Amino acid sequence: MQRLNSYSSAHTPSVPQTSRLPSDYTSRYSQAAAIANANLNAASYKTPQPIEVWSLNDAANAAIPQDIREQFQCDEEGRVLFFTAPPIDTETLATSEVKSDLPLGHSVSYLAAKADRDAKVREGRKRKAERELEVAEKKRREMQAERVDLQRVMNESLGKALMAWEAALERGIKGEYEMLYGSAEAERRMRESLRH
């Protein structure tokens, strides 16, 4: 702590100590002043502007023929000037933007590519709808075939059931006639009752 106090007291103004201030007040004040000075120096530093114009040395400049040097900007001593960026003519840019009657829009190639893509998307949707329709039609045909098969099975089952019921009924009636009239007489009586 003493090392910090001796360092900070050398770089900051001293604060007179009074009996009312705590003993470490000066060290805290010195630290705050050092931080404030460092921040102030960092904020006020301005980086130098980058060089925007270059010129060749005299020997290199003399190697350029005079008729070519006259076509370019030169300094007072006749050296050709080289710029790091092309000049921006803001007046021409401003007037060209105002005078432009062309509406803002996409390029023809972009619009053609977009139309091609939209056509492909529509074609894809159409193919998907056709596939879904085919699947639905196939499912409908399968269900109809199953329904026909089920109806055929039901008809066969019903026919068999009716035949079995008829045979059981015939056996039951025959059994009753046999009980009433005996086995020899039952057959004749049953035929007579069926005729009437």
pLDDT in tens, 41-87: 555 667 777 778 888 888 988 999 999 888 888 888 888 888 888 76
Give the integer Cα–Cα distance in Å for 102 and 45: 47
Kind and range of the H or E run holding 7: helix 2-11
Looking at the DSSP assignment, which residues form a beta bridge with residue 74?
80
C-alpha 71: how far from its chain's center?
Answer: 54
* Domain segments of the chain as ranges: 2-44, 52-83, 119-195
Q: pTM of this prediction?
A: 0.29
* Confidence class for position 148, pLDDT limits 50, 70, 90: confident
Q: What percent of the chain has pLDDT over 90?
A: 18
Do the Cβ atoms of 9 and 26 come closer than 8 Å? Answer: yes
Give the integer Cα–Cα distance in Å for 31 and 9: 9
* Confidence class for position 23, pLDDT limits 50, 70, 90: low
Do the Cβ atoms of 1 and 27 come closer than 8 Å? Answer: yes
